[in-house]
Amino acid sequence: MRHDHIISAKQLSRADIEEVLDRAADIAADPSAYADRHAETLLGLLFFEPSTRTKMSFTAAIKRLGGDVVDMGPVEYSSVKKGESLADTARVVEGYADALVLRHPSEGSAKMASEFVDVPLLNAGDGAGQHPTQTLLDLYTIRENAGLDDLNIGIMGDLKYGRTVHSLAHALTNFDAHQHFISPESLRLPRSVRYDLHEEGATIREHTDLDDVLDSLDVLYVTRIQEERFADQSEYRKVAGEYQIDAETLESAREDLTVMHPLPRVDEIDHDIDDTDHAKYFDQAHNGVPVRMALLDLVLGGDQ
């Protein structure tokens, strides 16, 4: 793979994606073969907003490659609190680590920070923007369960603010995927994302009702509709209720439907789905480790 930084799923070609997923599959099949691959390697963690899960997943990934982390820690205790710019923080910390992982509340922060450093920088989420490692683990999970070509996927919930959705939708344009977007009118895909998908020649359809497409889907990717997106609580409850699924909802679905969710969930997927063969969201979360190991291995020069 020929990228110094991993900023957005948009930068990844089909060949890049397949290289990461193949490497991840290889790692998952025989993790011990990679156990000392990156001994002595230090991964710098710059988390400007809390995301314990993503941080743990990256930490597990580098440690399973034989390396370790240096962690900026919470923002409250760092120089950022004193008003240091992100550009400066990145330039200082790159001297402590062989690669950086950045999570930051502002859109475009990872791209900007990458312009100031020479070590590989991985975007672990920039505001409502991109979250490419989440996308790669989503793609890995889809490939393992349904395959990435000739795919019918439904993506449901908060499509306006959900960055995992935007990132995934972009990445799927590399494959022969029919994408169905299911959301209330007020939370449909933003214009910029629709523009890009059309530019890429993607096949997309927008729906307000899951029943319109459920029986044709190979994968249903559910995201959470957040209360803070609504001015009043009763409106939220009404809308959110329409986009919750349970075992009964899935009666009309195909038997081999894969249900995914970036987690954490609240009540958009009922627990009665957890024990069915549809439920793949915990596998999906676990896949974050081999996928991040694969990505780190590739950007750190695993082939050398």
Per-residue string for binding with another protein, 121-140, x by CB under 8 A? -----xxxx-----------
Does the protein bind another protein through residue 106 (CB under 8 A)?
yes
Q: Match 């919930």 to its residue by tokens.
A: 157
The active-site residue, picked from 5, 38, 41, 54, is 54
The residues, any chain, with a CB within 8 Å of residue 246's CB and separated by 6 or more, are 269, 270, 272, 273
Closer residue to another protein in complex, CB, 89/284: 89
Does the protein bind another protein through residue 4 (CB under 8 A)?
no
CB of 24 to another protein, least distance (A): 27
User: How far apart, in whole angstroms, are the C-alpha atoms of residue 88 and residue 45?
Assistant: 15
Closer residue to another protein in complex, CB, 87/247: 87
User: How far apart, in whole angstroms, are the C-alpha atoms of residue 189 and residue 187?
Assistant: 7
* Strand pairing report for 42-47 and 68-71: parallel
Stretch that binds another protein, among 83-91, 150-158, 218-226, 266-274 (CB under 8 A): 83-91
CB of 10 to another protein, least distance (A): 9
Token output for 253: 């679905």
Amino acid, single-letter form, for residue 19 = E
Token output for 139: 């793609």
Task: Work out which of 115, 149, 211, 242 binds another protein, going by CB under 8 A.
Answer: 115
Does the protein bind another protein through residue 198 (CB under 8 A)?
no
Binding-site size for another protein (CB under 8 A) equals 21
The SS3 of residue 6 is strand
Helix residue spans in 183-303 (DSSP H): 191-199, 233-242, 281-286, 288-299
Contacting positions for another protein (CB under 8 A): 83, 85-87, 104-109, 111-112, 115, 126-129, 191-192, 195-196
